Structure 1
Amino acid sequence: MSSDNVVPFISRSRANAAGKILRADQGQDGAEYVQAREIAQRWRAQHIDPTQQCFKQVLECSKRIPQSVATYRLKRMISIIRKLQRPNAHFKLGELDDIGGCRLIVETNEEVNEAADWLISRLSLKNGSGDKDYIAHPQRSGYRSRHLLCKAEAGSASYHVEVQIRVRDCSIIGPRQWRRLGRFTEPSTKVPR
């Protein structure tokens, strides 16, 4: 490979600087914005290997749980930019936990917890808030899931990858979502409270 084809490594601090420009949203056609977006895209691409490393463990876990489904993805660039631009949020591009993401869908909350325990024993978690248990402590919206915020190494750098473990059925839908769904059902349909 010639040196012309080498894509420069993007450091976390360089990603944060690019994210600051993207968050400001001062003209998407300007050279500074275009360069910041290019840096962000390369930062996103650097999450491919770490996400695949985590996914290998999620896939192994999935093999242990009948009827489970395992997937992974990289967050779309437009979603990253929108997250950076949320009002009253102070996200830094280099600190986002969900650019790389894996998902394991199982049948029961017990399987969610079993899978989380198995994965925690095999993946490095981010210091501090590496395990977010939205089953034991549902969000105000009613959302229920377990999120493991993993730290995966690639080369000389570490990256954050989010592993979501949730159930397949509607038990993850809380009362507020059921009320919203009720607006779209026939008047004779009863919506659980």
Structure 2
Amino acid sequence: MEITSVRPGYELWRPNREKAETKTTKAIVSFVLLVSAALLVLITVGGWTRLEGTSVAIMTLIWAGFYVFFALLVARWNRGILPVASALAIILAIFAAVSAPGWFARSKPGLSPPPLPDDLIGLLCIVVVPVQLLLIAVAMLGFNQEWHVEEERPVGGVPLTGEHEDTTFLPEEQGALREGDGSLSAEWDEAPPREEDLPPPEHPQR
């Protein structure tokens, strides 16, 4: 949960962001987003002359720009963008899987080749599919790690005076306490009863 106000002497921190597995997940998500953007740019530039219209190429470049922007947001612990990245990855994986066979079919003698060979572009489209599946998996993992959870702690992480005092006793101190309790109970056993604790005297009946 997120805290709106902080007590004096305390500060907000996000404990889940300090974990090693959380930092690793964040780095992997950012890296996969950048790899996806690089693949999209490479496919678009390499097959520009074969793409169905300039609008498709521009849309693909915009898609790559979104991925770069998402990578920057994830690097700054933005958790809310992860489901959006997963949704785009699903759509892109479908497009890449559908378009890959078409690139291999165009690799024929007599056709003017694009800047990159058709077979290579088809192979890149195939590579995009597992990369997007990996992006979906790590993005959902990062979303479930709850990077946004905030907690209060003393400023600097040091407990304030009177808080979280250490009440652990050494073995010899614990033995002394037990002996003290035993002697104290013995004193109470040997002490005479107080006068107010005695029952009232019984008067003989006449």
What is the TM-score of this pair, normalised by structure 2?
A: 0.21
Query: Which is richer in strand?
Result: 1
**Bigger CA radius of gyration:** 2
Bigger fraction of residues in helix: 2
Which structure is higher in RCO with an 8 Å CA cutoff and minimum separation 6? 2
